[in-house]
Amino acid sequence: MGDNRPIGIFDSGVGGLTVVKSLLEKLPQESFIYFGDTAHVPYGSKSEQELMRYAREIIAFLLDQDVKAIIVACGTHSSITLPRISEQYDIPLLGVVKAAASCAVKTTHNGKIGVVATRATVNSRAYTGEIQRLDSSLKVYETACPQFVPLVEAGKLEEEETREAVSEYLQPLLDLGIDSLVLGCTHYPFLTKVISDFTGEGIEVIDPSCKTVDQAIDIFSRQDLFNQQDQACFRKFYVSGNDESFYNVGRLLIGDTIKEVHKVRISKA
């Protein structure tokens, strides 16, 4: 039987494309609809109330497109809104926090885990809660990196200012002796090269996107949701704000999977 409907994916901007990259590798036969909420990027500085409104509007939009599941490809929504709303929908909704936490728990040897994420995510302590739920003996140090999202949205992946920001945010975590670093915002894996150059070989850098797609695979096999039809699948990209920058930077990040970007207005406010 299976299910040939698309998967819905969303983030504030290009960050969720890290999850798209993993999806293309692991589930190339699946159609998907990506929504980048570029009218509201960055999410890291938004209030819980604002984030709740955005989440509900985006999910309503994706449900209107008849998606079979939604991947919340955003650390901020996965930390703050997803735990409050996931039970309210009758399709699977999955985020990146659980995937990252289970990876970090398996990776660390010395029990000291660093998490870099947006300010809203760090304030929620969602990563610490999830990691310590799995192993309460672990120490978790969370740091907000507000410069990273604007740098990635501008396509500045290896510039000098990016290296400076990486050093400013990560040195204090290295001083604390972490051996694993969770990239707790989906934009950050696009900075992996600069981050790994800075942290060196002794630190495992964890990108939750791959594990998140593994969780989707698990749910799809349990609920018979894989696309089993031979017809060509489709990939659509929508944004709420700047479409040109999403197109240009998005193609820089994941190539010509992005053929066109549609600007839509979904907000009732």
Least CB distance to ligand DGL at residue 184 (A): 7
Q: Looking at beta carbons, which residue is closest to ligand DGL? A: 15
Query: How far, in Å, CA of 14 to CA of 153, rounded?
Result: 7
Q: Which is nearer to ligand DGL, 76 or 227 (CB)?
A: 76
> Residue 187 CB, nearest distance to ligand DGL (Å)?
4
CB of 94 to ligand DGL, least distance (A): 14
Contacts with ligand DGL, residue ranges (CB under 6 A): 11-12, 15, 41-44, 74-76, 118, 121, 149, 185-187
Question: Closer to ligand DGL at the Cβ: 118 or 227?
Answer: 118
Nearer to ligand DGL (CB atom), residue 43 or residue 246: 43
Q: How far is the CB of 149 from ligand DGL (least distance, A)?
A: 4
Q: What does the H/E/C string look like for the chain?
A: CCCCCCEEEEECCCCCHHHHHHHHHHCCCCCEEEEECCCCCCHHHCCHHHHHHHHHHHHHHHHHCCCCEEEECCHHHHHHCHHHHHHHCCCCEECCHHHHHHHHHHHCCCCEEEEEECHHHHHHCHHHHHHHHHCCCCEEEEEECCCHHHHHHCCCCCCHHHHHHHHHHHHHHHHCCCCEEEECCCCHHHHHHHHHHHHCCCCEEECCHHHHHHHHHHHHHHHCCCCCCCCCCCEEEEECCCHHHHHHHHHHHHHHHCCCEEECCCCCC
Supply 124's token pair: 């929620």
Which residues are part of the catalytic machinery? 74, 185
The C-alpha atoms of residue 22 and residue 115 are separated, in whole angstroms, by 21
